[in-house]
Amino acid sequence: MSSNNPKIPVAFFRILEYESTFLDTAVAMTVEECGLKVHPGTKVLVKPNLVSSKNPLACTHPNVTLSLCRYLKDCGAQITVADSPGYGSAAQVSKAIGMTDGLKKMGLKPKSLGRPTPLKLSFGETIGISRDALESDMIINVPKLKAHGQFVVTGAVKNLFGTVVGFRKAYAHTRFGETPGLMEKMIIEVVQSMPLAFNLMDAIYPMHETGPISGKPYSMSLLAGSTNPYALDTAIYMLLGLSPKKILLWRETAHQKIHGYNPDHIKYVIEPPDDFDTTDFKVPEQLSPMEFEPVRFVKGRIKSFLSRFG
């Protein structure tokens, strides 16, 4: 490892439940052991996974987001909690998973990322990403570890796809999904465009067997964090015994030689990965096509439109 690319701290913290007092300590230690500094007045976008109101397991657990917000308030940060669900609003999902009241106690409310602006992609296309995200001083990404029917398993990198505004995520699948490799390239370029400062992963009870909506809970007892989303995901892939041949996002990260793709780029702080047993964690064996059929896309747009009115 050259002096230009020092090893990346990845924090693994064992925590059995989402109990708030101990979780507050775990969040603070995870952030600080990885070297993140948040100065008073910093505009921080907290970006949980608020994918669906149908299944709370599919979303970042509200207590993880709330603990992070308490930590950031103690730092004097100006906090916005926001995501861009493919269907419905962030406020609807937040209420359904039980996060809204906790945010209200801190003077916060969930928002939907909006104000799309085109991001030029390296392969000649564009995608609409949120200026709300781009104009933050820093983003703290709060993904939920999940099995995924198209990507096998998803974590920090994929969660930043949520800064693509609204239906444009489904449209991206329709436009780019039929060409192998384009979805992965697009997601990585979205991540690289963002003022990303930290990634705090909820893997306490991740989703396994399938996903991203309808999988089952798995007791992993892990809160994980890093300033580098690629390194954090690599650490999780290694923990699950996976390889770049199976994980398309990891393979693309390795192909581009992005710092963090290689396990040798990582140093573990707080607890070693050997302390966590994931032998029973199941990922999908049969994957769905990356592209969305046009009919499915149109139905999704109608559903998204109607959800705004009730």
Domain ranges, ordered by start, for the chain: 9-279
DSSP 26-57: HHHHHHHHTT----TT-EEEEEE----SS-GG
Beta strands in 155-217 (DSSP E): 196-208, 216-217
Domain 9-279, CATH among 3.30.465.10, 2.60.40.10, 3.40.640.10, 3.40.50.11440: 3.40.50.11440
Q: Are strands 43-48 and 78-83 parallel, antiparallel or unpaired?
A: parallel
Q: What is the pLDDT of residue 292?
A: 52
Q: What contacts 224, CB < 8 A, 6 or more positions away?
A: 10, 11, 12, 13, 30, 200, 201, 203, 232, 235, 236
Per residue in 66-124, pLDDT (tens digit) is 999 999 999 999 999 999 987 789 999 999 999 999 999 999 999 999 999 999 999 99
Q: What is the pLDDT of residue 170?
A: 80
Q: What is the pLDDT of residue 193?
A: 97
Q: How far is residue 162's CA from residue 170's CA, in Å, rounded to a whole number?
A: 11
Is-contact 204 223, C-beta < 8 A? yes
pLDDT of 189 above 60: yes
**Between the CA atoms of 63, 64, 70 and 73, what dihedral angle is there, to the nearest 10 degrees?**
-140
Confidence of residue 169 (pLDDT cuts 50, 70, 90): confident
- Token readout for 274 is 């050997």
Mean pLDDT for the stretch of residues 51-73: 96
- Token readout for 190 is 């979205």
pLDDT of 45 above 60: yes
CA-based nearest residue to 147, from 227, 203, 215? 215
More confident residue, 21 or 207: 207
pLDDT of 236 above 80: yes
Supply the DSSP symbol for 164. Answer: B
Q: What is the pLDDT of residue 286?
A: 76
